[in-house]
Structure 1
Amino acid sequence: MIDLQSLPAEPGCYLFSDAEGTIIYVGKAKNLRRRVSSYFSRHDIDPKTRRLVATIAGLDFIVTDTEVEAFILENTLIKKHQPKYNIDLKDSKSFAYIHITDEVYPRIHVARGPDGSGRYYGPFVSARERDDLLRLLKSIFGLRSCRRLPRRACLRAHIGSCSAPCTGAIGEEEYRERVKRAEAVLKGDIAGLIRTLREEMAVLAGRQEYERAMELRDQIAALEGLRERQHVDRQKTYNEDIVNYIVSEGTVFLMLFNVDRGTLAGKREYTFDETEGFLEEFLARYYAGNEPPEEVILPEAVDDAITGYLSHLRGGRVRAVVPQRGEKKNLLDLVRKNVEIGFFGDRIKLEELKRRLHLPDTPVAIECFDISHLSGTAMVGSMVRFLRGQPDRRNYRRFRIRTVEGIDDFAAIAEVVRRRYSRLQKEGGELPDLILVDGGKGQLAAAVAVLQELGLKVPIAAIAEREEEVFVPGFSHPLPLARNEKASLFLQEIRDEAHRFAITYHRSLRRKAATP
């Protein structure tokens, strides 16, 4: 039996354990008695906390002088005990880093994680952006990428993309200066590096060292191009992290952007169960393993104790900012938009399709039909299925048209729709939430007639390719959908996939027919 009245009204950490004595949760509190009592007195707790309370068999606590000390202690205890019910911060994606080794002539290459000596930069969300940057840095500064220094110059040295330290073509001091400049780019200080290079170029030109000056000129041009591509450039002299999230059905979908002196340097995504105070717990756990920046932009205010804790970790002041307007609010909105797209993109376009087509339910399963032929010969049909906004390729179907002579797309559509849904009726298969046909009012009418013949009531629409007009039964004119809005673009995506699948099948039949 847990004696709640024996708990002090002081800051500190509490440790819940199960019947076997295993620590299952570690928390911190400004007032230990009030915080621990809330677990057993409230009825509006979330499901995860309800499961935690049902498992608690023991309680221990440690008093601290301040809440900041409680944050520090909480992190230590979580690392030690790895409690089951604390947030498990496993990054939902694994991104690669650019690694500069700690050697006499450092090597630059891609690494999967910061688990060795040297310096790591990243993580990089886009593999293409990372590889482009790596290629550019090796080319601009002539850095080696070979695992071991060869005894003679390699192809990269011969084409001028490596400074060839293996041959003694460059000294250690000059090479390390090049590494230092590459690191300036990776840290986001492109503007400062360009200024330095311009000054050096002017000095070299004054000395009439034109060849070396031209080399710096080419480096500046390449860096200028890189700087233009990195459009999140806000002329900041300090680092920021931007955090935003969406809570849906008891789950937190959170995204964190790392902004390195004004340049977007990385993005991380996390999902975990919603609990009371989850944002502060996330910040405490995340920054226990990552150096806090000078500023953290948040969607809501946090307790002063968390900023004190982050300042302690950093060894300098950390500001927690909740912007209401201006540039920082725009960045916060940008992160939320990325959360929506990254975690809910498919759901959003399905909901938009439901709204714009006036459907009774969200169309989880969508099936689309298309007809392909060459001057009326080898006529075939295709059906593609999308499930929760994504292609369900295992359930694609293709049809050889059996009952239609000559060119008659209406009759062909009627045949494949009849074959598909009469078979589903016979087998007791699950009907889609929306049927889509490639074509206009004629194709739509043919498909609707078949559904009525079969006694099926399934929402149906048609999309005409030329103007991307969308038709539904009961309306003589197309729906007022702009061709570039979400619902229309999604329908075009499904139709194009059906068209691709039909053409692929048609071509395969033609190849077989042409083979003697």
Structure 2
Amino acid sequence: MTIDLSTIPEEPGCYQFKDESGNILYVGKAKNLKKRVSSYFQKKSIAPRTDILVSLIRDIDTIVTSSEVEALILENNLIKKYQPKYNIDLKDAKSYAFIQLTDEPFPRIGIARERNGKIKGTLYGPFVSAAERDQILKFIKQTFHLRTCKKITKRACLRSHLGTCAAPCIGKISEPEYQYLVKSADLLLRGKNQDLISSLKEEMQNFSDSEEFEKALVLRNRIQAIENLSERQYVQRQKKADEHIINYIISGDMVYLILFHVERGSLTSKEEFVFQETEDFLDEFILQYYATNKPPNELILPIQPEQGIQEYLMHIRGTNVTITVPKQGEKKHLIDLAYKNLEVSFFTGKMRLSELGEALHMDNPPEVIECFDISHLRGTGTVGSMVSFRDGKPDKRNYRRYKIKTAGPSDDYAAISEVVKRRYSRLLSENHPMPDLILIDGGPGQLKSAKTVLDELNLSIPVISLAKREEEIYVPGRHLPLSVQKKSPASLLVQEIRDEAHRFAITYQRKLRQKQMKE
């Protein structure tokens, strides 16, 4: 039987090989799912066991994650839940370590390796990297001076003498004051750390300006440690209740819907549905699905359903059911992750390109798209970037970066003109093919600058711009943006390309600044 690999996404995540009965044979993880899964079918394996596994595969299911770290932990969860026959080396694998704040009047901070350990408290993580975990733990101890001793004695410890412990043991701090430090550490560990990062960056810049580079380096490492907390596992959270996460995409007159099953904090499976759009399709889906499936403790949705839905679910379950529509935080991340999986499952690059071509009234979908972005820091160190996407995927061999030579400080219009002119003057002189579409990061002003240059070069390449605040698409000759939904596949593709151009520009600017600091 031939396995269709064309639908496998080129994203990080987990894959599940299934036999003809739907039983899971093997669970694996990958930085690039398509490359990893394809490798099983490209040539005969050295290991006979792997050849047998491949011969039994009849279906492949994938779950996309936001990072390799999430893929690692999701793989761990899935193996523990299903115990596939061909994952013998990982069946007895231990869970990754957590950071724990204990439930005591003066909580201590430390490491826990089990969810249901003997010591009660709040767990954060898990952390795949022990070095990262230890760096964060050390940072929190040094910053918030939380105790680490197992028992509170009446003698001051070495950390107290060194000034790295608040020393509740000898009464140096009251319980309310200590609890304030605990809450600060809790916010940091839960990822609500932007204010702290901003403060540290400002302090780091001050050290850099005064040429105290060693102190600036210490702060930079601390900032990186905090930023790495975003690599926490969002799909494995400390929950005793079960959750279902539902999200959807409407394309044409069809609804593409996904349902994630989260059991006691661990993402375990997904279901996908496609059906005709109706006025109250989400309410209808919930009513029909839970007529034959037990509702979870909590249902997480992108929009609020009608009022009677919650009572209906509570009646079926027999206990309370919470309906949540998150705007931020971990649950919002799960909603977004569900949406991303929908995009990967149903909206491949060519489909998104086709929808974009229709939205722009192009004769054919834009096979090659080039996007420009300008980046500077308070008007200094201005650089430009150009990224190329082919068939909806990054074509990194054709990425280009530019030092701005002629534009003045903070003059984004002139900077856009310069990089567009340099790019397409060269393509003309070298007789290289032009892109099918040009995307500019910015509003009507940046778009006009780019269009003027193209007219001067006698190039009739379609050009559009994407304004960041409202993610609105502008075309030349129109004062108002196009009526393209921000969550439509076409708009999301344009946003993805713009974000990649922005990332590439920022990376180049940082590289130049680091070089200047070293010099």
- TM-score band, normalised by shorter chain: 0.3 to 0.5
Q: TM-score, normalised by structure 2?
A: 0.42
Max radius of gyration: which structure?
1
